[in-house]
Structure 1
Amino acid sequence: MSILVTGATGTVGSLIVQRLRDANAEVKALVRHPGKISFPAGVTEVAGDLADVASMRAALSSVRTLFLLNAVTPDEITQALIALNLAREAGVERIVYLSVIHADRYTNVPHFTGKHTVERMIESLDMAATILRPAYFMQNERMVQQVIENYGVYPMPIGSAGVAMIDVRDIADLAVGELLRRDRAPDRLPRVTLDLVGPDRLTGPSAAEVWSTALGREVKYGGDDTAAFEAQMASFGPGWLAYDMRLMMEGIQQHGMRGADGAVDRLEAMLGRPLRRYVDFVGETAANAKPD
């Protein structure tokens, strides 16, 4: 029996596939287009799509454990609910689901409320699952790295309420730990929900200051204007996604993104090491961008 990883070619999923193979787990990687990327030796590619019932039925055969990650799409809820229903149908009772922190609080943000709906299904049907609720990914900063470096502006309107950004490498390590714990247990384990956060509470100005130090020149915070942020995103992506991201940023400004009390200590105990810090991520990212 194997572990099926959805989103296997993405930022988080590809790391999970690699780490599972490093742990000698039997891994199936769900892909829409076989051969798109090179997986580690021993990983089985399974062609399928979360919205294609027949392909998902085939993908879930001979699977004991499921890692479910849905991209932010207009039919995200449909994809996730179909996948979970088909997993139940196939007898899969070991699940790790990647949700988002404060999914129940950001009620007007489409992809947050979508993930909360999936959480409610897992809970109402008493599915044996770990629900991972990550905060904002540090690696999202790479999308605006050129703006930061070329214009000296940190453009993400995250405000001042505080965001405990987390490194995707820590997300992957925590997800793999839960996948292996569930996969190797003799029976189904109780449901668990974990806030995945980093150790630092960042604001727009403090994030800009970290970049200033890493680059050795001034970087200013671009401010809290979410309408301008939406317009910029809509200039190179779909309008529905730009608006979704604007609503998320407004939620971040209002509520922040911080884990429950003791979340950092719990995660570091699970990892057996400290969580990665934003200052180290930025320093590494800035150094890698410099010409030799």
Structure 2
Amino acid sequence: MTILVIGATGNVGSEVVAQLVKRGADVRALVRDPAKAKVPAGVAVARGDLLDVDSLRSAISGISTLFLVNGVVADEFTQALIALNVAREAGIERIVYLSVIHSDLYVNVPHFAGKFGVERMIEQTGLNATILRPAYFINNDVGIKDVITGHGIYPMPIGSKGLAMVDIRDVGEIAAIELVRRERASMPLPLDRINVVGPDTLTGEDVAAVWTEVLGRAIAFPGNDTAGFEQNSRQFMPNWMALDMRLMAECFITEGMVPDAGDVERLTKLLGRPLRSYRDFASEIAALA
């Protein structure tokens, strides 16, 4: 019985693969270029692309369980639907799909709306799946550490409603736990949704205060300039993606990413340990500086 990980070399997928190997699972990794893929020993590699149906059919052949994560790309929605339809065609009845929290609320944000459409497809076609709905990844802030340490500001316009930021390592472990649970069940398990959140719901001011404490000097939160955020983002991503990120930030401000009652307790029980906090992450980054 084999678990196929689509997106196996990405930030989340690589964590999922590592956690599955740790749990003794038989893992197959879908990658674009096997010659460049770095996967743990014992992991089988299948060459494929989410827009290449034949390669997907080959990769999915003989597997029992599927993990699907899509990158934020212009055709993300199409890629996800193709992958799930190929899995459905192959009779795969054990699936874990990585969506996003509040996909139903962030209705004008392209990569949120796309994931919500995928959730609807899963539900309405009767696929047996766990839909994981993570909040903002703490680890995204690795990309702004130089701004924080060099300019003394936390630049993300995340507002004052609060985000229950989650560590990618926790996301990967929870995904692996769910994959193994479905893989080892005597029969396909029914649809389930899990909000994957961190232990604290933090505002922009809260995050700046964490960095102030960790670094031992004042770090400011300059506010919620989403237009400026879009312009800065265009320096290192396509303009369509920069707009997507701006729209997401505007929903951070209006909606937040607040967990439901019991979410933290459910995840803590699932992991058998406390969730990693933003302060844990900031302390790790500061120690490497």
TM tier relative to shorter chain: over 0.9
The residue identity in structure 2 corresponding to 1:221 is F
- Which residue does 2:33 correspond to in 1? 33
Provide Cα deviations, 1:25-81, integer angstroms capped at 9, x if missing partner: 110000001132321111011100011101000010011000000001110110000
Aligned residue in 2 for 1:150 = 150
d(CA) in 2 for partners of 1:126 and 1:259?
Answer: 26
Structure 2 counterpart of 1:16: 16
CA distance in 2, matches of 1:288, 1:191: 41
Q: Report how far residue 258 of structure 1 moved.
A: 1.3
Q: C-alpha distance in 1, partners of 2:228/2:285?
A: 26
Partner of 1:67: 67
Distance 1:149 1:230 in 2: 21
Whether 1:132 and 2:161 are equivalent positions in the alignment is no
**Equivalent in the alignment of 1:103:** 103
Aligned match of 2:264: 264
Count residues in correspondence.
289
Give the unaligned 5+ runs of structure 2.
none
TM-score (norm 1): 0.98
Aligned to 1:279: 279
* Aligned-residue offset at 1:199: 1.0
Letter in 1 for 2:68: L
Which secondary structure state, in structure 2, belongs to the residue aligned with residue 154 of structure 1? coil
SS at match of 2:144: helix
Rounded Cα–Cα distance in structure 2 between residues aligned with 1:288 and 1:172: 23
Contiguous gaps of at least 5 residues in structure 1:
none
Alignment of 1:244-259 (within 5 A): 244-259=244-259
CA contact (8 A) 2:100 2:112 kept: yes
Matches within 5 A, 1:160-175: 160-175=160-175
The CA deviation string for residues 161-180 of structure 1, in whole angstroms up to 9 with x for no partner, is 01000001110111000000
Residue equivalent to 1:181: 181
Residue of structure 2 in register with 1:207 after alignment = 207
The one-character-per-residue Cα deviations of 1:150-196 (angstroms, maximum 9, x if unpaired) are 10010000010010000011101110000000001111001100111
Return the alpha-carbon distance in structure 1 between the equivalents of residues 16 and 163 of structure 2: 24
Distance in 2 separating the partners of 1:236 and 1:11:
18
Structure 1 residue 222, shift from structure 2 partner: 2.3
> Is the partner of 1:245 in helix, strand or coil?
helix
Q: Which moved more, 1:278-287 or 1:177-186?
A: 278-287
Match of 1:57 in 2: 57
TM-score (norm 2): 0.99
**Residue 276 of structure 1, CA deviation:** 0.9
1:81 aligns with 2:46: no
Deviation at 1:214, TM superposition (A): 1.1
1:72 aligned partner, one-letter code:
V
CA RMSD of aligned residues (A): 0.7
C-alpha distance in structure 2 between counterparts of 1:22 and 1:273, whole Å: 17
The aligned amino acid for 1:102 is: H
1:30 is paired with a residue whose SS is strand
Distance 2:132 2:39 in 1: 24
Q: Distance in 2 between matches of 1:244 and 1:129?
A: 27
Question: 1:190-228 deviations in whole A, cap 9, x for unaligned?
Answer: 110011111111111110111111111111012101000
Segments of 4+ moved more than 6 angstroms: none
* Counterpart-to-counterpart distance in 2, 1:152 and 1:36: 38
